[in-house]
Amino acid sequence: MQLGLVGLGKMGFNMRQRLREGGHEVIGYDPRPEVSDVPTLAALAEALDAPRAVWVMVPSGHITDETITSLAEVLSPGDLVIDGGNSRYTEDAPHAKLLGDKGIAFIDAGVSGGIWGLTEGYGLMVGGSKEDVDRVMPIFDTLRPPGELADGFVHAGPVGAGHYAKMVHNGIEYGLMMAYAEGYELLAAEDLIEDTQAVIQAWTNGTVVRSWLQQLLAKALKEDPEFHDITGYTEDSGEGRWTVEEAINHRVPMPVIAASLFARFASRQEDSPTMKAVSALRNQFGGHAVTRISESG
């Protein structure tokens, strides 16, 4: 089918390609002319046959806001917008309302898979009405990975459910990565272990901890055995924070995912004000840093 696609960054660019290879007619718009098929959003709307379907794949937050607001102006009643970015699920209802007031339908879609999605397919979690989801199912069908539909696609619930599921997916991801990483550090610290990469590689088949992330960790260690070319500075992109906030809202204990989030915050600090305060306290009661008798109390 025909699809408008706004945002041709790393994700959108690949998705256009996968959809085209799947036989769809994709007209892409991006502010960078070198990748864009049309010069403006208005031109995109004009180029599509009504009723239109437009997939938005831009950074979450105000850029998504602006894009959807602009689309509300250039699209027509009966059209449909899919927000495939990592928007916070709480923004979906307002976006659905904004578009709905103009007769435009809205679906939120959580998309997982990163740069591998082009070849392996994207895991999809979508929210919206059954009618709307059915309407763009051919697009979802091409984007999703091959195999059983239920193993790579879920219509998780009404508007917001897709992004909620994706948010939790990413929160879990934080915890998984941290669990592997802590284990890696411990293996690397122990002299008995002669080749940390080989151990992690060996977990690929048969073990309880085998996973895609485990394989990626083995691959990363193969490329750079002691992570010489990498720093611990680690960004977080919203979903981790939102997951912990939702846990607080729902009174769900979430020690592991929260700890994973805090470790990212800490990784970006030059020095820790918290630990400066702890260190200052030790000095206050224990005297100078170096003492003959243990100074800790």
By CB under 8 A, the residues from 16 to 55 that bind a second copy are none
Catalytic residue among 102, 120, 173, 295: 173
Strand partners, 55: 5, 82
The answer to whether 152 contacts a second copy (rule: CB under 8 A) is yes
173 classed as catalytic: yes
As a whole number of angstroms, the distance between CA 3 and CA 139 comes to 8
Site for a second copy in 181-200 (CB under 8 A): 181-190, 192-195, 198-199
Minimum CB separation from a second copy for residue 247, in Å?
6
Residues found in the chain:
297
Candidates 125, 130, 140; CA nearest to 105 is 130
The answer to whether 214 contacts a second copy (rule: CB under 8 A) is yes
Name the 3-class secondary structure at 24.
coil
By beta-carbon proximity to a second copy, the closer residue of 51 and 157 is 157
User: Among 18-26, 42-50, 68-76, 114-122, which window interacts with a second copy (CB under 8 A)?
Assistant: 114-122
Catalytic residue among 46, 66, 102, 166: 166
Name the 3-class secondary structure at 123.
strand
Could you say which of 26, 52, 54, 86 contacts a second copy (CB under 8 A)? 86
Q: How many beta carbons lie within 10 A of that of residue 244, not counting itself?
A: 20
Minimum CB separation from a second copy for residue 94, in Å?
15
Residue 150 DSSP code: G
Handedness of CA 115, 6, 235, 251 (dihedral sign): negative
Instruction: Give the contact letters, 227-246, x = binds to a second copy (CB under 8 A), - = no.
Output: x--xxxxxxxxxx-x-xxxx
Contact 27, 45 (CB under 8 A): no
User: Among 17-25, 43-51, 73-81, 219-227, which window interacts with a second copy (CB under 8 A)?
Assistant: 219-227
- The residues, ordered by sequence, that sit 6+ positions from 238 with a Cβ below 8 Å of its Cβ are 60, 61, 86, 88
97 classed as catalytic: no
Active-site residue numbers? Answer: 166, 173
